Structure 1
């Protein structure tokens, strides 16, 4: 009996051991695939999030390291990224649906037909800065397409001159030839009767900060003849050549500039920003640091008075930039002295015509504004479009 009980217990024990030994592999077969599946999901999530995590980490660490940068440090980082922009353009005029005729304004203030072999297009200068590795730059709209700034007054003045010069009885098909044959001689005949007027290039807040200044033309008084109706005259602007020059480049004329093309501009009249790009869609080799718009100050309400403001640009264009060793970019420092109105921020940086499109940084190296305007009458009152609009325009490309 004892033996039987022993055997039974032994059999029961053997059964339990056998059962235990057969259940463990089954659990492992179920457990291991589950572990691998979980690890796979985690790996996939980490793979797709790695870029964001890396960016978040680098941004936070970069900000903590960059804040407190000196004016010199910011200048050294971005001096090759900030460029002198030169834009040569003409006005294209159509009368009663005629073929377009191109016009320029001479140094003496005459509106005259443009001929690349006889005269020059209108040329202005400003500033821009690289924001991408494919050669895109941010500048002001009034630098990239000058005719769009208060264009109603400018174009009305041009229409009035053209209206006076062309009789209404000329057929549309003959307009271009008539202008070529009679424009100059007509100007000479009535030159003494012309009154000087200015094409307005002022904004509501301040004079637009462009090296071009105001364009002056001579406008004839209206005569008793039958002029063409200005409603039948269409005027638009057209770029002849758009280019950039970098710090230490030796340039004497716009043909020496790196060719660029117009890409886009803000449709909001309060947002004076535009995007241009090198024709090659490449960065010049000496540009090592583009201005990272993803780090730009996106909340302009956080740009408080007293915030350090450092501007790099080309005020007065070639007049100040030109040296025997090439053009030299300039840096100016001040402080924000008025809160943003949602579109622009004011600062007391010294500036003048030509600094249009200059980047304005805080002491963390973050872009806070794109300079666009200032008062001619006094220094220390300048304005920049808040950086979030440059970022928005660039992202919408």
Structure 2
């Protein structure tokens, strides 16, 4: 009994530690942590792994969460930004692809912007290349000579149906027939015809006409006279005959020494194609249109019809595909056009959508852009044309003119170059003269 020592608290804890660990693992971990901390304070475990790391056997998810407390917030914010960007650009793309909305029938647009948005895709820029051609003994050839170089004109047209038909001016589709050009073109054609007759011989085959004319054009002369004609040229007169070949002194020797020699007869003679067998005229080389927002893309067309009346400057152009592009949501509806030109009063709004100055003004870094200009009707219609104060210039010929509701009232065709604000359009009722379907509809209504 005397040799037995009372148990100290430390011995008691050491003796009961296994039992406590088996009963409660959490309590064991806590005691172990406390023990390790005590040892650390006493310097007994200086080279051991820090006890805190040994006492954190948590799951990987919890450990990741403790190590990166801002990761979830960071990725959440990134997701929100990404979704926002996708939504923004998706909406922007959708809006750009939806360039216009279908017009509700009999609805007054009552806004320049609404008129523009509705019809900008229906209005196209026309590029027309044309030049001189010759028909020689039934063979047509294109002339590639300085006086007959190709010319290019730009204008405007607009779709009126889903079959690729467009309205424009006749002077855009056939510029050589316009009042201001017809005399000049006829004079140039006559001059070219005389030059061809001065160099083209009958021994040249029709297949070689074009090449021969181009190669020998430098020798051509417009001073072409019919035999026996009196144009002041005396070289073929009886009094002067032979003077270019022999002198008067030589003539005496010839008379006394030898028989007369006809030197002109010794020169080889060639037969030339008669001027009567040559026709020279202008003709389309290429005609095409560009859509609003297009980029260097031209759609080929054909001229279907022009007005037979010079005062009615209208014509029909059609895409060779005979199908209006799907990007054109609204065509200019002729059924909704104002055909009663007497109802058009001075002071009422006039809105033009077109391509003044052609590519010079329409071409941008993002493609072709149509333009809108507005003004007022300034004079009553005379039954064929109407005047308005809309800014316009070359290239706007063929542009549609709308009233404040977006109804077609005229087709722009003329203006005064030196002064802005004095422009004219062919009233809509005259479209019947070049577009037969309109005439048929009018007969049905009557």
Determine if the TM-score, normalized by the shorter chain, exceeds 0.5.
yes
Equivalent residue, structure 1, for 2:233: none
CA distance in 1, matches of 2:436, 2:286: 26
CA distance in 2, matches of 1:222, 1:306: 57
Q: Deviations over 1:58-79 (max 9, x none)?
A: x9x954x406x12111111100
Q: 1:233 to 1:303 in 2, by over 3 A?
A: farther
CA distance in 2, matches of 1:359, 1:87: 19
Equivalent residue, structure 2, for 1:128: 157
Q: Report the secondary structure of 1:294's partner residue.
A: helix
Q: Does 1:222 align with 2:259?
A: no
Q: Does 1:235 align with 2:235?
A: no
Q: Report the secondary structure of 2:187's partner residue.
A: helix
Could you state the TM-score of these two structures normalised by the residue count of structure 1? 0.66
Q: Does 1:154 align with 2:155?
A: no
Equivalent residue, structure 2, for 1:335: 376
Q: 1:162 to 1:247 in 2, by over 3 A?
A: same
Q: Does 1:249 align with 2:294?
A: yes
Task: Kindly tell me the number of residue pairs found equivalent between the two proteins.
Answer: 290
Q: Which of 1 and 2 has greater Rg? A: 2
CA distance in 2, matches of 1:169, 1:110: 17
The structure that is strand-richer by fraction is: 1
- The answer to whether the Cα contact below 8 Å between 1:159 and 1:233 also exists between their aligned partners in 2 is no
- The answer to whether the Cα contact below 8 Å between 1:142 and 1:148 also exists between their aligned partners in 2 is yes
5+ unaligned residues in a row in structure 1: which ranges? 1-58, 113-120, 191-219
Q: Report the secondary structure of 2:184's partner residue.
A: helix
Equivalent residue, structure 2, for 1:171: 202
Q: 1:376 to 1:99 in 2, by over 3 A?
A: same
Mapping of residues 10-25 of structure 1, within 5 Å = none
CA distance in 2, matches of 1:338, 1:228: 55
CA distance in 1, matches of 2:216, 2:223: 17
How far has the Cα of 1:90 moved from its partner? 2.8
Q: Does 1:66 align with 2:108?
A: yes
CA distance in 2, matches of 1:172, 1:389: 51
Q: Does 1:110 align with 2:147?
A: yes
CA distance in 1, matches of 2:284, 2:433: 25
Q: 1:178 to 1:82 in 2, by over 3 A?
A: closer
CA distance in 1, matches of 2:194, 2:428: 42
Q: 1:250 to 1:361 in 2, by over 3 A?
A: same
CA distance in 2, matches of 1:321, 1:98: 42
Q: Deviations over 1:150-172 (max 9, x none)?
A: 33431332221331342288339
How far has the Cα of 1:258 moved from its partner? 1.1
Q: Does 1:364 align with 2:405?
A: yes
CA distance in 2, matches of 1:375, 1:231: 40
